Amino acid sequence: MPEILLAATALTKSYPSGSRELLVLDNVSFEAEQGARLAIMGPSGSGKTTLLGLCAGLDVPSAGTVSLMGFKLNAMSEDDRAYLRNQFTGFVFQNFQLLSTLTALENVMVPLELRGERNVQPKAKALLDRVGLGDRLHHYPTQLSGGEQQRVAIARAFITSPKILFADEPTGNLDEENAQQVVDLLFGINGESKTTLILVTHNLELARRADRILEMKGGRIVQDKRLSVS
């Protein structure tokens, strides 16, 4: 039986909004096994991104628990959660989130360097080669197109060989051609490394490449649909 890497139990999240509390997530539970490709879909304001943030330890729930790689995130300090993210997770964001003052190569190297590893450049170069940017190593983010920036972000996400990858609307800022390239890369490398993928998207076509879709509405999971593996 596949190992469960991520378990969300009765997650609730609310934010203060003026004088009242705004409930964004309402009693959400799900699990994700190793190697799973899970897409979270739903209309704007349904709580997808909030759920992703809580699962990745970027925020803490108002109630409920998140267990990532066996760690109870609620009980950990912010710095310990950061360490955990560095050890086990990767991220791809809609707006790429590259460090603007670092070159493509340096951006990719950061997660490994943070671990204190040495001689990380060959691995970073190989990954940039893999995403088709071997000739853009020393370019800064502002010198790259949106598609290229997202490919750098994918290389950065995979350089630590993460157990679990969180992707928030990875094609949201890209045109169709670039989106297709990025999706192919994301799923391609994911397939090779057997990384668990948690993907937030509006795009049904993209979601269909996952093997499971959680559909959200009003802060709740309204459908948990398992797809046949293509």
Partner 1 sequence: MIEYIISIKRKTKPFWRDLWIWRMAWRDARHNYSRLFLLVASLITGIAAVVSIGSLNYSLQNTLDQNAKELLGADLVLNSNKKFDPSIVAALDSAGVTVAGDAEMASMVMFMNTGQSRLVKLTALYGDFPFYGNLETQPTDALSLMKTGRYAMLDESLARQFEISSEDSLKIGNRMFKVAGVVNKIPGGGVLTSTLAPSVYIAMDALDSTGLVQFGSRVGYSLFVKTSGEEKTKSTIESIRPLVKKLSYSIETVEGRKKGLGRGLQSVYQFFSLLAFVALILGCIGVASSVHIYAREKRDEVAVLRCLGSSGWQAFNIYFIQVLALGLMGSLFGAALGAAIQRTIPLVFNSFIPLDIPFTTSWPAIGEGLLLGALVSVLFTILPLVAVRFVPPLTVLRADSAPIRRFSKMRWSAILLIILFPVFAAAYQSKSWIVGLGFAGGLAVALGCLALVAVGLLKLVRKFFPLSATFVFRHALSSLFRPNNQTQALMVTIGLGGFIIATLNIVQHSLLGQVEFAGNQNQSNTILFDIQPSQKDGVISLIKEHKLPLNQVVPIVTCRLQELKGRKIEVMLQDTSVHIPEWALSREYRVTYRDSLHRSEELTKGEIHSYRPGSRDSTWVTISEGMQETLEVDVGDSLTFDVQGVPLRARISGIRKVDWPKDPPNFIFVFPMGVIDKAPQIWVAATRVGQGGEANQFQRELVMGYPNVSLLDLRLILSTVESLFAKVALVIRFLAFFSIITGLIVLAGAVVNSKFVRIRENVLLRTIGARTRQIMQITVIEYTYLGIFSALTGMTLALVGGWALCRFFFEVQLGVGWIDFFAVGFAVTLLTVAIGWFNSREVINTPPLQVLRKE
Question: Which residues form the interface with partner 1 (CB under 8 A)?
Answer: 3-4, 7, 31, 49, 52-53, 56-59, 67, 69-71, 76, 78-80, 82-87, 91, 93, 97-102, 106, 110-111, 113-116, 140, 156, 168
> Measured from the CB atom, is 2 or 191 closer to partner 1?
2
> Measured from the CB atom, is 32 or 183 closer to partner 1?
32
> Measured from the CB atom, is 49 or 190 closer to partner 1?
49
Q: Which among 220, 165, 218, 223 has a CA at the least distance from the CA of 194?
A: 165
> Measured from the CB atom, is 159 or 210 closer to partner 1?
159
What b/e readout covers 108-145, taking b as 16+ CB neighbours within 10 angstroms? bbbbbeeeeeeebeebbbebbebbebeebbebbbeebe
Q: What are phi and psi of 53, to 5 degrees?
A: -60, -40
Q: Which among 210, 198, 92 has a CA at the least distance from the CA of 153?
A: 92
Residue 189 · residue 158 · CB < 8 Å:
yes
> Measured from the CB atom, is 26 or 113 closer to partner 1?
113
Q: Closest separation between CB of residue 230 and partner 1, Å?
A: 27
